[in-house]
Amino acid sequence: MAHTIKGAAATIGADRLSELARLLEEKLRKPHVTPLHSDDIRAEMDEISHAFIVLLGLVPPVAVAPVASDSAPPNPEAIKKLLRELDARLELSDTSAITLLEENTVLLRAALGSSFDRLANQIKDFEFDKARKGLQTLH
């Protein structure tokens, strides 16, 4: 995996991420007297994770089409079900909450109004506890 990250990062010009992955790959390939454990590479993994977050912050946001004014109002039961599912995923710190958010942006934006952007940013920044607390105050 480190090798793949190294190459992909280099391809897109993410030099810092590529270098971090190279260092991890080197550490993993080096012969060790005792087997490596996750704690042995925790610092490297944390740095790589941080580099991914920084890289994600550089990606421009996706433009979202506005909800047409002549569209039917959102189904309240569908919204409740979606909010319960989102809450459950946030409770588990499940990253699929990001996908659920992205797949339902139009409906969630219509349902949450001005609170949507803050919630979306928290979820995309992996601040699942904050997002969950905010979500709970909304419904």
Query: pLDDT tens digits, residue range 11-51?
Result: 998 899 999 999 999 998 888 888 888 888 899 999 999 99
Query: pLDDT tens digits, residue range 72-113?
Result: 667 888 889 999 999 999 999 998 999 999 999 988 988 888
Burial class (CB in 10 A: 0-12, 13-18, 19+), 84: exposed
Domain ranges (residues) in the chain: 2-58, 76-138
Q: In Å, how far are 26, 53, 84, 105 from 91, measured between CA atoms?
A: 36, 21, 10, 20
pTM for the whole thing?
0.49
